[in-house]
Amino acid sequence: MKKGTIWIIIIAIIVLVVMWFVRINNRMVEAQEQAVQAWAQVENVYQRRADLIPNLVNTVKGAVDFEKSTLEAVIEARSRATSITVDPTNLTEESMAAFQDAQDNLSQSLGRLMAVVERYPELKANQNFLELQAQLEGTENRIAVERRSFNQVVQAYNVLIRKFPNSIVASIRNFESKAYFKAAEGAETPPVVAF
């Protein structure tokens, strides 16, 4: 073979490797951006819930002489839940656990609030309260849908960066796995209903 032909082959191989690297890198960037966008949707629905809570608390507070400690627990849990921020480009197990813990705490506080409301028939008949309760239930459903969607997008991203030979590009470009939403602790145990 001529010396010029060998150089052409070497250059062609280098060009193919660079094109492959760029293509894989771009796929990873797209997958990472999809995960960031999915996280934004999760935050959006959690923010919607946080925005509904002050109206719910004011409606409950204004309707009856309600248990102050229950309302304070909801307000404090909301404050903690909205103070936790997570960097969507660095979704670690620790940051997700802190975020999820704060949101679960808020959910538990809201659950206690709704349980206490059962003792106040005049509040359960209040149209404002009923509308807010329906909006909150709808938001809880949206949260479940967005969390599921987020987990699917993150799974696709994590698989993409772990597959060989993609993992080579991922390690060179520092693409790291993202954490998933997990079920709340104890969710695998069904509640005991006794009559």
Listed by start position, the domains of the chain span: 31-172
pLDDT of residue 89: 79
**8 Å CB contact between 181 and 100:** yes
Average pLDDT over residues 3-16: 91
Helix (H, G, I), strand (E, B) or coil at 167: helix
**Band of residue 64 on the pLDDT scale cut at 50, 70, 90:** low
Q: Which residue has the higher pLDDT, 139 or 128?
A: 139
Of 71-75, 80-84, 93-97, 120-124, minimum mean pLDDT range: 120-124
Percent of residues, the chain, with pLDDT higher than 70? 90
Which amino acid is present at 163?
A: K
Peptide bond into 165 cis (omega under 30): yes
What would the DSSP string read from start to end of 13-72?
HHHHHHHHHHHHHHHHHHHHHHHHHHHHHHHHHHHHHHHHHHHHHHHHHHHS---HHHHH
Residues 23-51 pLDDT 10s: 999 999 999 999 999 999 999 999 998 88
31-172 has CATH 3.40.718.10 classification: no
Average pLDDT over residues 134-143: 88
Q: Tell me: pLDDT of 187 over 60.
A: no
CA distance 77 to 166: 42
End-to-end Cα separation, the chain, in angstroms: 89
